[in-house]
Structure 1
Amino acid sequence: MLTKECPARIKAAGTADGLAEGQFVALVSVFGNVDSVGDVVVPGAFADDLARWQVKGDPIPVIWSHDWRDPFAHIGTVLEASESPDGLVVKAQIEDLDTNAKAAQVYRLLKGRRVTQFSFAYDIDEGAWVDAKEGRSYYELRKLRLHEVGPCLVGANQETELLAAKAAHLAEAVKGGRTLADAHYERLARARDAISGVLDARPSKTTAQDAGQPPAADNDDSVRAPKLSSADRPQSRTAQAAARLNLLTIMDGES
């Protein structure tokens, strides 16, 4: 499972915008732009899965910051979801406002625009790398399986930096004599192997670049840095996700 964060466009929130108490409307995924991790969600990416959710009859969960393990972070459900020309738009209901303090606080944050990013959890059913003629290549997300949506405080880049800092802190603690459970060492080993796979797949620099010289012309295939194949690149994305999940599990367990 992967997650994707983006700046939210909150179209409406609460009774002042003509909605029922606890409701909001937001654009939670934007089509056509290259995001911070090099992905582009294309129109139609959610269409098949939205139809699957409708046939299933269960609502898409709204979860605060992907915190699946906390039952109080399950703050609501999606009432309506559809693709617009801009992206995936949802109308959602934050529930249990009287009994769930977390849900009530998230609702206040949304209305006050103190939280302005949204995220969704997904699996990739169909995707491919696109080599752009101008600019960097990107990974095109063509068909996605949606698991949940929800507001979050910060996006993926900030979270990656936070994980790196936590990992460094954990390493210092272990060097200082702290003992981890065997299961945590096993997860760390899997995370290490996954990260190694990402680094091993990195395209090598040309000799000229290593020497600090300007790169050769783009039409000189003899010295162009090798590109990852379409088969290799998704594996690297999977390895990154596996490493992130393993680190998250350990950090949460040791915090």
Structure 2
Amino acid sequence: MLTKTITVPVKLSDGTDSGGEPGFTGYASTFTREPDSYGDVVKKGAFAKTLKEWEESGRPIPVLWGHRMDDPDYFIGDLRSAMEDDHGLKVDARLYPDAPKAQRVRDLLRAGAVAQMSFAFDIRDSGTIQLSDGSEARELRDLKLYEVSVVPVGANQDTSIEDVKTPAVADALTPGEVAAVRALLAHQTTPEKGAADDNTREGAEATCGGKAQSRAEAVARLTQQIRALTTVGEKGDAA
């Protein structure tokens, strides 16, 4: 699973025209033919299939803070609507009125402290194209959308759009590294070492063996484990 981040104007709404719920509108992706730093362009229609799949599922597309899938508190809203137009993927998001983090994000958006959206996706179809200047780019033609996030990423100094992609945690780690992370996490929380080792081996096999319900869930779990490892490392440095 990858993420793409873009700096775009975000318009806050007070909810008067959407059932009284606050939110924001903007573009989670644009169809500019200027390649990003990874040499990619997104083709118009790339979201058509995934938007139809979301509609048929009857579930709303989640809105997160910073792609934090591991903590339900960071699910700050969902999309009231998402549609492609000539410019890109236009979204209308609501922020949950009773969620403290959602209201904090709304304050940050209002203050201009954050002004970027990002989306998590998988590539289902792509190809190489030649641009008008003779250079080549990878054209993303069919994307599977998982969620849209508000992100605190600094704006690109050269352009008003910044695209950032990162590989899925499950793809970045070997099974041995995943097991080591889980073992260290269990060591911090479980006093019985023998039982912890057995459980962590089973947990690593379950995660890396494809037994998670979806790649998105696997990424969320591994992200949580990496965060725990980082915390442990910081404690060790302080000591």
Is it true that 1:82 corresponds to 2:87 in the alignment?
no
The reply on whether 1:24 has 2:21 as its aligned counterpart is no
Please give the TM-score of this superposition, normalised by the length of structure 1.
0.60
CA–CA distance in 1 between the matches of 2:121 and 2:58?
Answer: 19
Partner residue, 1:8: 8
TM-score for both structures, normalised by structure 2? 0.64
- Between the two proteins, what is the percent identity of the paired residues? 36
- Classify the secondary structure of the residue corresponding to 1:9: coil
Query: Once the 2 structures are TM-superposed, how far is the Cα of residue 9 of structure 1 from its aligned partner?
Result: 2.4
Distance in 2 separating the partners of 1:124 and 1:45:
9
Q: What's 2:110 paired with?
A: 111
Instruction: Pick the aligned partner of 1:253 from 206, 229, 232.
Output: 229
For residues 53-94 of structure 1, what are the alpha-carbon distances to aligned partners after superposition, in whole Å with 9 as ceiling and x for unaligned?
Answer: 111110000011101111111000101000011000011111
Q: Does residue 41 of structure 2 align to residue 40 of structure 1? A: yes
Instruction: Identify the residue that residue 49 of structure 1 maps to in structure 2.
Output: 50
Q: Flag the 1:115–1:17 CA change in 2: closer, same or farther, 3 A.
A: farther
- In the alignment, structure 2 segments of 5+ residues that lack a partner are 155-161, 167-176, 184-220, 232-239
Q: State the distance in 2 between where 1:83 and 1:181 align.
A: 38
| Residues 28 and 90 in structure 2, CA contact (< 8 A), matched pair in contact too | yes
Residue of structure 2 equivalent to 1:94 = 95
Indicate conservation of the 8 Å contact 1:77/1:93, yes or no: yes
Q: For residues 130-161 of structure 1, give each alpha carbon's deviation from its aligned partner in whole angstroms, at most 9, with x where no partner exists.
A: 2446364221100101000011011677898x
In 1: Cα distance, 2:55 partner to 2:165 partner? 32
- For 1:124, what is the secondary structure of its paired residue? strand
Partner of 2:204: none
Alignment gaps of 5+ in structure 1: 161-179, 187-244
Question: Equivalent residue for 1:194?
Answer: none
Aligned partner of residue 66 in structure 1, secondary structure: coil
**Contact 1:31–1:86 (Cα < 8 Å) also in 2:** yes
Determine the structure 2 residue equivalent to 1:183.
180
Partner SS, residue 66 of structure 2 = helix
Equivalences for residues 164-179 of structure 1 within 5 A: none
Retained in 2: the 8 A contact 1:8–1:116? yes
Give the 3-state SS of the residue equivalent to 2:126 in structure 1: strand
Q: Secondary structure at the match of 2:149?
A: strand
Tell me if the contact between 1:61 and 1:74 (Cα under 8 Å) persists in the aligned partners.
yes
Alpha-carbon distance in 1 for matches of 2:131, 2:101: 43
Q: Are residues 1:150 and 2:126 paired?
A: no
1:140 aligns with 2:139: yes
Contact in 2 for aligned 1:118/1:150 (Cα 8 Å): yes
Task: Report the 3-state secondary structure (helix = DSSP H, G, I; strand = E; otherwise coil) of the residue aligned with 1:114.
Answer: coil
**Contact map agreement 1:122 1:145 (CA 8 A) in 2:** yes
Count of residues in correspondence between the two structures: 175
By relative contact order (CA 8 Å, sep 6+), the higher-ranking structure is 2
State the shift of 1:120 in Å. 0.2
Select the structure of larger CA radius of gyration: 1
Aligned in 2, Cα 1:140/1:248: closer, same or farther, shift over 3 Å?
A: farther
**One-letter amino acid of the structure 2 residue matched with residue 183 of structure 1:** A
1:86 is aligned with what amino acid? H
